[in-house]
Amino acid sequence: MIILIASLLTILTFCILLLIFSPKIKLLHLAKKYKDTEVLFSPVGGIVNLYQQSFEKYGDALYFIRDLIQKKPNTKAILYNLGVDIVVNFQDAELVKEVHQSYSDYYEKLKGILTLQYLFDKGMLMTDGDEWQKQRKLLANTFLFQNIKSRLPVTKQVVQEIYSSKQLDLSKPINALHMSEKVTSDVIFQTFFGISFRGKQINGVEIQKELSNVLIEGFNYIQSSFYYKLKMVILKEKAVGFKPFKGEEDLLKRMKNLRDTTEEVIQNRLKQIKSGNLDISQSELFLDILLRDYIQKNSESEKDIQQMIDQFMTFFFGGTDTTADLVALTLYHLSHNQNFQTKLRQEIKSIINNFEELNYDNLNQMNYLQCVIKESLRIHPPAVGVLPRVCIKDHKVGQIEMKKGMLMDTHFIGVLNNPKYYDNPQDFNPDRWNDSKKMESAPFSPFGIGKRSCIGQHLGMMNAKVIICFLVMNYLVKPNHQQKLRMSLNTVYTPFNDDLVYFEKIN
**163/183 Cα distance (integer angstroms):** 9
3-state SS of the chain: helix, strand, coil percent to 5? 60, 10, 30
DSSP state of 450: G
**Residues paired with 37 in a beta bridge:** 77
Residue/partner pairs of 433-436 with CB below 8 Å, 24 or more apart? 433/370, 433/371, 433/374, 433/375, 434/368, 434/371
Torsion angle, CA of 339/340/345/351, rounded to 10 degrees?
A: 130
Shortest CA distance to 376 belongs to which of 418, 432, 320? 432
Assess contact for 310 and 122: CB atoms under 8 A.
Answer: yes
**Sign of dihedral through CA atoms 127, 266, 297, 319?**
negative
Shortest CA distance to 355 belongs to which of 155, 108, 121, 101? 155
Shortest CA distance to 475 belongs to which of 368, 374, 348, 362? 348
**Sign of dihedral through CA atoms 366, 347, 485, 167?**
negative
**438/163 Cα distance (integer angstroms):** 37
SS3 240: coil
Secondary structure of 291-352 in HEC code, one letter for each residue: HHHHHHCCCCCHHHHHHHHHHHHHHHHHHHHHHHHHHHHHHHHHHCCHHHHHHHHHHHHHHC
SS3 393: coil
Assess contact for 432 and 424: CB atoms under 8 A.
Answer: no
Secondary structure of 397-434 in HEC code, one letter for each residue: ECCEEECCCCEEECEHHHHHCCCCCCCCCCCCCHHHHH
**265/285 Cα distance (integer angstroms):** 14
Is 454 marked within a binding site?
A: yes
Torsion angle, CA of 299/304/306/307, rounded to 10 degrees?
A: -160
- Beta 37-40 vs 77-82: how paired, if at all? parallel
**Sign of dihedral through CA atoms 205, 206, 207, 208?**
negative
Left (φ > 0), alpha (ψ -120 to 50) or beta: where does 298 sit? left
How many residues would you count in the chain?
507
| Annotated binding-site ranges for heme | 454
| Annotated binding-site ranges | 454
